[in-house]
Structure 1
Amino acid sequence: MPTVAVTDASFEEDVLKSDKPVLVDFWADWCGPCKMIAPALEEISEELGEQVTIAKMDIMENTGVPGQMGVQSIPLMVLFKNGEPVARKLGAAPKGALKSWLEGEL
């Protein structure tokens, strides 16, 4: 499954009401580390797509949700289960580390 773009408008439906866990990657086009981990997140989405949805939110185009969540540094990945944020990971990491962290939280 490819990653899914979410917006302030679609966040409730796509993330909070999802019937499976959703990992939201808060990112911006000017963020180098965000671009570094994007291919890894795409691969993880393909590998774990049955278990988790990987979503991306551009914080420059969407300010509501990142503001409510207190997003101050990116890349920030937040895992939601049953509409609740249950885990956060700040900063870039190699694919293996990201996948291990995510699998440990699912």
Structure 2
Amino acid sequence: MLLKKSRYTGARAFEPQGDPGTFPGLRARRIEPLEGVIEHTVTDGDRLDHLAHHYYNDNGQWWRIVDANPELLDGGRLMHPDWVGEVILIPAAKRG
């Protein structure tokens, strides 16, 4: 069950096809094209929740940054130390 305003609303469901180790779930959701992007150079100690708080005033919006930079997910870890000095994209906050 999804919340009414979930970003996964509209994602298609999938059913396992004969593999007992899989479970029903949702397919990847559609990510809209970015508009009004800011470039941010990663510094030592940057965290996605801190960046989200800085740019959106809401640390729970970190997923917007991951949507724009899916390569930031490194084996489940966010913001690998090797990213220091790299430029990532920060999408504009949604209005309305």
**For the pair shown, which has the larger CA radius of gyration, 1 or 2?**
2
- Which protein is richer in strand relative to its size? 1
- Which protein is richer in helix relative to its size? 1
Higher RCO (Cα < 8 Å, 6 or more apart):
1
TM-score by length of 2: 0.28
TM-score by length of 1: 0.26
